[in-house]
Structure 1
Amino acid sequence: MQQNNGGPRTGPSRAVRLESFGGPEVLTVQDVPEPQAGAGQIRVRVAAAGLNPMDWFMTADAETAARFGLSLPAGFGTDYAGVVDQVGAGASGYAVGDRVFGSALSRAVADFVVVDANGNIATGVAHHTPDRVDDRTAATLSIAGSTASAALDVLDLGPEDTVLIGGAGGGVGVFAVQLARITGARVIGTGSPSTAEYLRSLGAEPVAYGDGLTARVRDLEGGPVTAALDLHGTDTVHVARELGIPDRRICTIATVVDGVPAANGANAAPDALENIARLVASDRLHVPIAAAFPIEDIRAAVELQSARHVRGKVVIDL
């Protein structure tokens, strides 16, 4: 039997949609029929949706979209947080009124999302939100948090390690730096000179990226670098190899390099996001919110996020 908050609802609701693939200019806010929770599903009234580079990357063109199983018309955004307001027959573990966060591939920027109670990234996933974690923060955790966790599992860091993290100031870097520090590892983070204080606030020793990075890292005191994580492309991989780090202790998330392990959120441990949420709730991990936009300003939000100069996460309020 389906549980409802206030009875069945069949009126229109808002969702960001694409009628063609492309950049921020193709995003529109549309009235759509309210989705209903079916058997084994829950419906979430979304309070906030967090943006990630993958959101605009996978909707940029038809070929890329097809790799993710997307077709037109399509929704937008993957990370969300909100409150369960319908529970479908046979869906266990959730009740109307539960606060949850999770992922719903390319459909999270909407008033409602429907996900499987025991789902995956394709069908949608929900996790219970701890009391001390607000919805904006919870809406940033899923993609970036699980990706960082999976990558650090590959590196298997400990207190004896020094890890070089390339692109440490980005959305995944926010999590990777702090999670690495929690293991006891020393963290060196690459970024522009203007991000130095920001990287220090996350727990990293900042070093400017670009030509000469290998020499700048060698000049730092504190011992040799023993592991590396490239969050942007391949530049950090090349530097890591020049520093003598074996390929097995290098990891990428955005590209594939022969001999170097790659990680993504789908590889994260089953309890990774619950652990991250608990760290946030206990003030051991902090997620800077760089900007929050109403859904009507979705284009401006994506333009800001896709420029890759944001210090922290960009969130859509619903």
Structure 2
Amino acid sequence: MTDTSPTVIAVGYGGPDVLRVIEIDPGDPGPGEVLLDIRAAAVNPIDWKLYAPSPHADPTRLPMRLGFEVAGVVAAVGPSVRWLSPGDEVIAWRVRGGYTGRLVVPEQVTVRKPASLDWAAASGLLLTGATAVHTLTATRTGTGDVVLVHGGSGGVGRMVVQLAALRGARVIATASPASHDDLRALGAEPVAYGTGLVERVREAAGAPVTVAIDTVGSDEALDSSVELVADRTRIATIAGFARAAGLGVLALGGGPGADPGTQVREAARAQLVELAADQALDVAVAGVYPLDQVALAHEVSRAGHARGKLVLTP
């Protein structure tokens, strides 16, 4: 038997006050599984959305474990594990219950962590990165495109900006003025959101905008996208699910009616790790919190102003 490990659970539906840290035995790895000593677990909006109040909330899912992506060290391997050994440093996504100190995961969800990538950045690479790849693939973004990214300073937005630029596109990104210097450093032309957005984007672009990627889900983001981009099959949202079908734009991710893009996202892992290892892709870490401050980390995430990833450490 393995030792117990501190683990975050949601004991009800509501705000971060429903979160608790308890001790759980992670169990031993079975066939094709490895036990990880977690060094860092990334916070993503989906984590707190899972326990948010909802008319469709299912009490049978409680208590609920949280966390989909982690980085850690292999502590033990189960039968039939082919590629990993104790002591290997890995990134794992998608996992279940990653907000913990030790976790059993399938070997197939792991990739080796580059030595050049620290634990916090490693834990926050794959979910946002794979989502960004999905948006760019679905919108057929490539050399010569002019891409508008709504929410360019957020976790997914920063990835879209960088990966679009690497594909040879010109990138215009919306963000608050405090994030403009960061976006310029990533290769984007920043514009402030708010009244007059369409005119500011047109002025910055100086040419037709051919692709729009919405990571925000606001009416402003969706309305300006359909006004600026002629081909609505080249507009994608990962948040504005309620209006996507009516507007004729792509809904991507885990929302109602959205394309999950599972194969595209899983295939992106190796490329993302390689780019991060070569420092061609920057994972900004906005804050690191101990596991017992998970409620604070979720409050910061819910506020929506963090410029980069929030990370928990056991």
Return 5+ residue gaps in structure 1 as ranges.
1-8, 119-124
Is residue 105 of structure 2 the alignment partner of residue 115 of structure 1? Answer: yes
Kept in 1, the 8 Å contact 2:72–2:89? The answer is: yes
Is residue 84 of structure 1 aligned with residue 74 of structure 2? Answer: yes
Q: 1:104 to 1:112 in 2, by over 3 A?
A: farther
User: Structure 1 residue 29 and structure 2 residue 3: aligned?
Assistant: no
2:294 paired with 1:292: no
- 2:6 is the counterpart of 1:10: no
Q: 1:128 to 1:308 in 2, by over 3 A?
A: same
Tell me the residue number matched to 2:239. Answer: 254
Matching of residues 137-156 of structure 1 within 5 Å? 137-156=121-140
Secondary structure, counterpart of 1:290 in structure 2: strand
Is it true that 1:226 corresponds to 2:210 in the alignment? yes
| Residues 199-225 of structure 1: CA deviation (Å, up to 9, x unaligned) | 222221111112221111112254221
TM-score normalised according to structure 2 size: 0.90
Q: Distance in 2 between matches of 1:88 and 1:65?
A: 35
Separation in structure 2 between the aligned mates of residue 131 and residue 10 of structure 1, nearest angstrom: 28
Seen in structure 2, the aligned counterparts of structure 1 residues 221 and 75 have a Cα distance that, compared at 3 Å, is closer
Say if 2:123 is the partner of 1:134.
no
Root-mean-square deviation over aligned CA pairs: 1.9
| Corresponding pairs, count | 302
How far apart in 1 are the matches of 2:277 and 2:118?
9
For the structure 1 residues 269 and 104, does the alpha-carbon distance in structure 2 shift closer, same or farther, using more than 3 Å as the test? closer
Separation (CA, whole Å) in 2 of partners of 1:297 and 1:79: 18
Q: How does 1:206-225 map to 2 (within 5 A)?
A: 206-225=190-209
Q: Alignment partner of 2:208: what SS?
A: coil
Give 1:35-184 correspondences, 5 Å limit: 35-61=27-53, 66=58, 71-118=61-108, 125-184=109-168
Equivalent residue, structure 2, for 1:263:
252
- Secondary structure at the aligned position of 1:137 is classed as helix
Aligned twin of 1:311: 307
- CA-CA distance at 1:77 after TM superposition: 1.7
The offset of 1:11, in angstroms, is 2.6
Query: How does the TM-score come out when normalised to structure 1?
Result: 0.89
Quick check: 1:237 aligned with 2:237? no
> C-alpha distance in 2, partners of 1:105/1:20?
21
Q: C-alpha deviations, 1:133-184, integer Å up to 9, x for none?
A: 2211110012111111111111222221110000111110121110011011
SS in 2 for 1:220: helix
Could you tell me how far 1:116 is from its partner in structure 2? Answer: 1.7
SS at match of 1:43: strand
Tell me if the contact between 2:38 and 2:73 (Cα under 8 Å) persists in the aligned partners. yes
**Aligned equivalents of 1:242, 1:174: Cα separation in 2:** 23
Which whole-Å CA distance do the structure 2 matches of 1:64 and 1:130 have between them?
41
Question: Which residue of structure 2 lines up, in the alignment, with residue 190 of structure 1?
Answer: 174
Is contact 1:55-1:106 (8 Å) kept?
A: no
| Range that drifts further, 126-135 or 39-48 | 126-135
Match of 1:282 among 254, 274, 278: 278
C-alpha distance 224-112 of structure 1, shift in aligned 2 (>3 A)? same
Q: CA deviation at 1:198?
A: 2.4
Cα contact 1:214–1:239 (8 A) shared by 2: yes
Quick one: percent identity of the two aligned structures?
A: 37
Which protein has the bigger helix share? 2
What CA distance in whole angstroms lies between the structure 1 residues aligned with 2:81 and 2:57?
30
Q: Which amino acid aligns with 2:70?
A: Y
